[in-house]
């Protein structure tokens, strides 16, 4: 935790958790890059496929919540995946404002082709299962706390 002295000196870069998380996120994306680019995917597209593989048929709104993406970011992403035949979007028959999205057979296959990426990250981390579980738990807790509505 950053320690601020009486003079309120600015916190050095190496004590900024935000920078550590940012740099780590970029390093993970770089680690995933080769496997994703070989399969014609970007990191955000990969996350969509992972979510849809897990949750199957969801609304675009729920998918946005799962991925912490707004509709302005998610909609073009889904359009591109749909144009590539990986997802299917369909308006709800009960409520035209609701759009459901699911993986196609090609999307399911593509998701399964990049299944090893998380394992590569775990191995590269050299963390024990306990350390990995702690990191994941604390990261999720931090996200929930800072995004909670006050």
- Name the residue ranges covered by the structural domains of the chain: 13-115
Under 8 Å between Cβ of 115 and 101: no
- Phi, psi of 26, rounded to the nearest 5 degrees: -65, -40
**49-101 per-position pLDDT tens digit:** 999 999 999 999 999 999 999 989 999 999 999 999 999 999 999 999 999 99
Give, in words, the CATH class of 13-115.
mainly alpha
**CA atoms of 80 and 75, how far apart (whole Å):** 9
- Which residue from 59, 61, 65, 113 is spatially nearest to 86, judged by alpha carbons? 113
Answering whether pTM is above 0.75, one says: yes
């Amino acid at each position: 935790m950053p320690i601020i002295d009486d003079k309120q000196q600015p916190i050095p870069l190496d004590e900024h958790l935000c920078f550590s998380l940012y740099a780590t996120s970029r390093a993970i994306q770089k680690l995933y890059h080769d496997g994703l680019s070989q399969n014609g995917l970007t990191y955000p597209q990969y996350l969509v496929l992972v979510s849809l593989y897990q949750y199957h048929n969801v609304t675009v709104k729920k998918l946005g919540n799962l991925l912490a993406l707004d509709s302005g970011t998610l909609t073009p992403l889904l359009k591109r995946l749909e144009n590539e035949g990986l997802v299917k979007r369909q308006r709800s028959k009960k409520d035209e404002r609701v759009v459901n999205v699911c993986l196609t057979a090609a999307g399911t296959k593509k998701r399964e082709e990049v299944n090893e990426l998380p394992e590569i990250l775990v191995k590269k981390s050299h963390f024990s299962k306990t350390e990995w579980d702690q990191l994941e738990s604390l990261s999720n807790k931090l996200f929930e706390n800072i995004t909670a509505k006050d």
